[in-house]
Amino acid sequence: MENFVITIARTYGSGGRTVGKMLAKDLGISYYNREILKLASDDSGINEALFAKVDEKLKNTLLFKTASSVYNGEIIPPDKGGFTSDRNLFNYQAKIIKELSNKESFVVIGRAADFVLKDFKNVIRVFVHAPMETCIKNVIEVENRPEKGIEAYIKKIDKERAEYYKYYTGRDWYDAKNYDLCLNSAELSFEKCVDIIKAYIDIKMS
């Protein structure tokens, strides 16, 4: 079978990461989330902490400068201005994702990977979401956070992810047209989400 990639965008607390990990384990393929930051740092020589600072979020100043900076594959070299700019940090992560897609099958979480790999034919683009009450419950259980302020925190994270996605893709993060599958993890359970994605892969790749 040819290499394939499952990209998973997810609302905060919906369990998208858990679904991704379970899926990768079931399929016997790699799982990439923050590992992308380390790989991009190793490739570029840029400190990993700089990648972490802008991981799936924008600096506020960027929002006032321009509506978007749609990814086009360009990499700014070390001897040029902007080498450690937010845009170049995104571009290096995208470079790693594209290089991995030529080497292996894997699951990747977030980072606008569905758009980065838009020209790669064997991509399954998934969006995992859940009602707010489910996300609140999951965050409290998984992160052991107090319930007070959780809803506002979840909305803040999702807003950052949506702005990040819009900035680098020009697209609406919530738009179902961006994805092959949109799965409500509260209605389906994590296990059923995995089963549906696996069934879709079998159909698409057959």
- Residue 130 has a pLDDT of 98
- Residue 65 has a pLDDT of 54
How far is residue 41's CA from residue 38's CA, in Å, rounded to a whole number? 5
Question: Do 30 and 128 form a contact (C-beta atoms < 8 A)?
Answer: no
How far is residue 198's CA from residue 179's CA, in Å, rounded to a whole number? 15
> Which residues in the chain come in under a pLDDT of 50?
64
- Residue 60 has a pLDDT of 64
- Residue 58 has a pLDDT of 85
| pTM of the predicted model as reported, rounded to 2 decimal places | 0.93
Map out the domains of the chain with their CATH numbers. Answer: 5-201 (3.40.50.300)
Q: Is 125 helix (H, G, I), strand (E, B) or coil?
A: strand
Summarize pLDDT for 110-142 with one digit per residue, the tens: 999 999 999 999 999 999 999 999 999 999 998
How far is residue 46's CA from residue 92's CA, in Å, rounded to a whole number? 10
